Structure 1
């Protein structure tokens, strides 16, 4: 009688240390992301850079596009190992520069360097998953990645606020740098000897063009953010020109027909960017709203983000277990419906005299919607890919994510600067997020299914 075959798991002996290492990187990236969202109002005030508040977010996302393109090409050509190591090193260097900064320009330089590492790390990890794990485990791997946000969600915003309030905001960056260095040493040892596959020769001319376009996208995204410091009659024309330039430059970095919401992979990639723009542009101003309108301390403003992060992790775990049963269309409607509720709640809080509980509970719906949607889009991207284009498609997904977020955050920051700040200006940001959620319905209903030919 034949013995039953063991069920494959992401915690198998041959994969466990890679899983642990990858989850550790996601965990530390989550700690940093949550910390920045919480402490940025304090950092911008301390370094006299409130006009550049949005650039601190948008700039990091913008330069992450460069890291994504470079890492995607490196992973396709030589495998993801070296690309991952370089990306982690850049992440640490960027944290150190920001942590030791004595002016807002210095701080922003650190954030730009950090973006190179963050973007590259994300793509490299996606390719590691594609090379090392069978397709039936991809959903569980990405659910584990999302679950790596659980503990940071529990303590990250609160600790970041407490560190900034009782120690110094610098430790929100320097502390993460130290922990990442320790984790990096462990991961380097664990990945040594693991077969991550080789690669295919790449067209160097095409690669140089893609890198140049990524630099253009990053530079123009930063231009949108810094246009807040220009004169009133100039700032919006400059921003609109930069947005149009990004639209042209990003086209070769994405699958064909992405900006036209073509069925299948193009819509998967486009939806990631639109949904990310809606969520992160609004979330950047949640702590600001709570501090300005409701007199929250930095510590308690951070706590306000915890419930949304819990909801993100829980919904992601639900998707990992029941995603195939729910189906892409149902996931689209559920996730966008939750985001719609969240945007309406925070918009009401910005405009009307309602309790801050409306903000905290309302934003939890946003976390749940994103937790349901994000891993599903990643699974679909890998399902639409093969070994020859895993790096390109993974980088395209992340590029769409980062570009959509960077542009949306920069536009939101420009709107706040134009209106002079305050809760009323934040209402415009949340209305903008609401519009993006509705726009995401277009690609969301054209995701198709990778097991079937997409209808064109």
Structure 2
């Protein structure tokens, strides 16, 4: 499982580092934000399918299917000759990547006892260490020496050994499938509608025309409506307990992803550093994330949920707000890299705690749904933030300085971080370690159009 996390981490960090160069080579600046938000959006479909599939037959089937889509998408992106084709490959790769994440969450719950969950998620974070060290650097080096397509092709070569290492656990899971949860095809349709809405927001909001703005606003309303049956009841209102935990994850993801995607862009386009050196900005953030997660895994039972989440969200908020300030002041690149390390540390504390809180508030029959909801919030938060930052970036491109669009991007990401910090109190009600708010019963308002419950919240 850690090998698969390693794959995802390496691909994410390497591609983020070289995407400015790819965008320039393929004349695709207008699709830059979509190349990141698109995979997050369609990944929601994969998450919903994998969650239901895992609840019904276990995570073995969805994991193998999602790995196949992941590899095919990387292959298409690597052979792309236009930005449109590259985005199409990224969409397919994102569909598989979203399903992989949910499958791994369910595997953790099925294989390991609850007292080990924090350490397993810390192990996942540790799997980011080597990619954080060499991913951005190696991605930039490969792009400069062999060409950017090999950034995608190289990841494919790592899938086979990862699957081989996972075979014993997959065989064990195949013999222990639950087979109790029914399929809810209506939620898959809602997921597709969410993905379509996010993509529409991306494509129409950047036109700068009144018609485009109206279409983007309408698409955003559709996204919010379609999200309801995919999340626990009350998540859109950040109701106390599990719903607020899920919502917190979405805003925290939006803050971090919305800023991180533009960090290498700022370093290469404005500060004119090489892709290799720009990658170090992501390296330090990734190392801080992994180190903080390891610390959290060792002290998880001795620190309250509220204390961990307050510290984590505060660090992310400080880092992004400081990035806004360094951009406004046109500070040297070293200052931006230094403050971004704090963002990685904050994510390393908050993310594993949110994951363990979600599993603690789940049962065997809804663990797949809740894991899917968590990753959906993760993706939709990032996708919506990227859609917004794409609009801000385009609107300020002709601003007074080259730093102006990046200042606007970081300012919008700061707003997401502020909301995340404000949600901590609603996500937790006890200061004792290991205790979270017991959620209220699911309301009738969460019913999907086909009559299936949109989300069942169960207190552990």
Length-normalised TM-score, structure 1: 0.92
Equivalent residue for 2:307, pick from 321, 330, 333? 330
The C-alpha deviation readout for 1:48-88, integer Å capped at 9, x for no partner, is: 11100000000000111000000000000111111111011
Are the equivalent residues in 1 in contact too, given 2:55–2:366 (CA < 8 A)?
yes
Asked if 1 retains the 8 angstrom alpha-carbon contact of 2:126 and 2:294, the reply is: yes
Give me the whole-angstrom Cα distance separating, in 1, the residues matched to 2:33 and 2:438: 38
**Does residue 346 of structure 1 match 2:330?**
no
What is aligned with 1:11? none
Q: 1:351 offset after TM fit, Å? A: 1.4
**Pairing of 1:52-91 with structure 2 (within 5 A):** 52-91=31-70
**Is residue 2:24 matched to residue 1:40?**
no
Would you say 1:216 and 2:193 are equivalent positions?
yes
Count of aligned pairs: 433
2: distance between equivalents of 1:218 and 1:173? 24
Contact kept in structure 1, 2:129 and 2:286, CA below 8 Å? yes
Aligned-partner Cα distance in 1 for 2:367–2:176: 12
| 3-state SS of 2:157 partner | helix
Question: 1:305 is paired with a residue of what secondary structure?
Answer: helix
How far is 1:324 from its partner?
A: 2.6
**Structure 1 residue aligned with 2:292:** 315
Residue correspondence of structure 1 range 53-132 to structure 2 within 5 A: 53-132=32-111
Distance apart, 1:190 and its partner CA: 5.1
Give the Cα–Cα distance (whole angstroms) in 1 for the partners of residues 435 and 289 of structure 2.
27
In the TM superposition, what is the alpha-carbon distance from 1:122 to its structure 2 partner?
0.5
CA contact (8 A) 1:221 1:407 kept: yes
| Cα displacement (A) at 1:325 | 1.7
Does structure 1 residue 364 correspond to structure 2 residue 344?
no
What pairs up with 1:51-450 in 2 under 5 angstroms? 51-188=30-167, 191-194=170-173, 197-204=176-183, 207-420=184-397, 422-448=402-428
Q: Could you tell me how far apart the structure 1 residues matched to 2:367 and 2:313 are?
A: 27
Shift of 1:291: 1.1
CA distance in 2, matches of 1:74, 1:302: 37
Structure 1: tracts of 5 or more residues without a match: 1-21
Give the superposed CA RMSD.
1.6
- Native 8 Å contact 2:242 2:439 kept in 1: no
Corresponding residue number in structure 2 for 1:30: 9
- State the secondary structure of the residue aligned to 1:445: helix
Deviation at 1:451, TM superposition (A): 4.6
Cα contact 2:258–2:389 (8 A) shared by 1: yes
**Larger deviation: 226-235 or 105-114?**
226-235
TM-score by length of 2: 0.91
